[in-house]
Amino acid sequence: MRHPGARADPGNLGAMEVVLGPDRCAPPPQGSAVTIGAYDGVHLGHRHLLAELRRRAAPSGLETVVVTFDRHPATVVRPQSAPALLTDLDQKLELLAETGVDRTLVVRFDDARAAESAEDFVLEVLVEALGAKAVVVGEDFHFGHGRRGNVALLGAMGARYGFEVTGIALDADAAGLAVSSTRIRQLLGAGDVAGATALLGRPHQVRGVVVRGDGRGGPELGFPTANVDVPAGLALPGEGIYACWYERGDGAVHRAAASLGRRPTFHARAEGPLLEAFLLDFEGDLYGEEARVSFVRRLREERRFDSAEALVRQMHEDVDAARDALGAGPAR
């Protein structure tokens, strides 16, 4: 992450400014239009809200600001049931930058922040740090200790401190259901990555470093794979075989057939799912690189084969299916 207050690199975060902590924030001279939330996934519902934020900011020339957190608040408030994240902080910032907001204020969420009253949060962040003139949040937004803060409280404080408050419903899908991070996690867990794509507005992506595996893929099976070490706490699709886009650290994008699972043909009791990606039409060393794997289509469930030969035959079919699913090149 960049230093507090630094401008983003043009090829990464565009013109969006990232500020780490309200104590490092200076209110814009003209005031700001602000939204607050975890913004996990920056999905189509979030983008609908951000479009409304920009619309309300434009007539008065207000700077648009997203207030989000360095971790999901649930990891502090209820760690035993905190959700897996759709995006880590770096990816979330990249996605927010794509929406055209001017600034993102990243607030550290710790025990002290969890114990803070909603009123104190409004004074510290919205009034003093950002000089808010307009606040746009989801209509069911809650914040502050005991989740006492809501749209009504924001409205009452706005009347006192000079900002208008709008609570809006998140965008809905074709079936009329609200787009939410929870729904997207459910779809991913069921392996429905196409359904998740429809709500995210892009394929679900995970990132990790390529590490050495057991060395079986190339020498024994003829399919050398990149073993991607995905950090704990990030949402993975349900176990299975997927057609994916694989992006290397240098930005090159390759078609891939990826296995996400426990490799039951060779391991009776694997501890957890492993992500292995076979890059189509590629030869080279990937060890130590950061990989970005975007899930496009689930090809089949994971299953155990009676022999390595039977597995290899199926892997050839999987590669053909991935090639068909992905076509000639990535959707950019």
**For range 8-14, the mean pLDDT:** 56
What per-residue string of b and e applies to 104-123 under the rule 16 or more CB within 10 Å gives b? bbbbebeeebeebebeebbe
pLDDT at 271: 66
Query: Residue ranges of the domains in the chain?
Result: 17-168, 203-326
pLDDT at 143 over 60: yes
Q: What is the pLDDT of residues 177-188, one digit of tens each?
A: 779 999 999 999
Q: What is the pLDDT of residues 120-138, one digit of tens each?
A: 999 999 999 999 999 999 9
pLDDT at 310: 82
Q: Is 79 helix (H, G, I), strand (E, B) or coil?
A: helix
Mean residue pLDDT of the chain comes to 89
pLDDT at 178: 79
Q: pLDDT band for position 174 (50/70/90)?
A: low
pLDDT at 96: 97
Rounded Cα gap, residues 261 and 258, in angstroms = 10
Q: In what order do the strands lie in the sheet with 32-36?
A: 17-20, 103-107, 63-69, 32-36, 132-138, 164-168
Question: What single-letter DSSP state applies at residue 143?
Answer: B
One-letter amino acid of 329: G
Which region holds residue 182: left if phi is over 0, alpha if psi is between -120 and 50, else beta?
A: alpha
Q: How far is CA 15 from the centre of its chain?
A: 20
Rounded Cα gap, residues 125 and 298, in angstroms = 43
Q: Is the dihedral of CA 327, 265, 195, 92 positive or negative?
A: negative
Q: What is the pLDDT of residues 34-92, one digit of tens each?
A: 999 999 999 999 999 999 999 999 999 999 999 999 999 999 999 999 999 999 999 99
**For range 133-159, the mean pLDDT:** 96
- Among 1-10, 107-116, 151-160, the minimum mean pLDDT is found in 1-10
Beta strands in 21-161 (DSSP E): 32-36, 63-69, 103-107, 132-138
pLDDT at 270 over 90: no
Q: Which residues pair with 277 in a beta bridge?
A: 226, 258
Please name the CATH architecture into which domain 203-326 falls.
Answer: Beta Barrel (2.40)
Q: Which two tokens stand for residue 229?
A: 């070490």
pLDDT at 329: 65
pLDDT at 5: 32
pLDDT at 175: 64
Q: How far is CA 174 from the centre of its chain?
A: 22
Rounded Cα gap, residues 228 and 211, in angstroms = 6
Q: What is the pLDDT of residues 186-224, one digit of tens each?
A: 999 999 999 999 999 999 999 999 998 765 554 455 688
- Among 36-40, 48-52, 241-245, 306-310, the minimum mean pLDDT is found in 306-310
Closest CA to 189 of 83, 266, 271: 83
pLDDT at 215: 55
pLDDT at 14: 84
Which pTM was predicted?
0.89
pLDDT at 268: 55
Q: How far is CA 272 from the centre of its chain?
A: 22
Closest CA to 85 of 294, 238, 237, 234: 234
What per-residue string of b and e applies to 244-269 under the rule 16 or more CB within 10 Å gives b? bbbbbeeeeebbbbbbbbbbebeeee
What number does CATH give the domain 17-168? Answer: 3.40.50.620
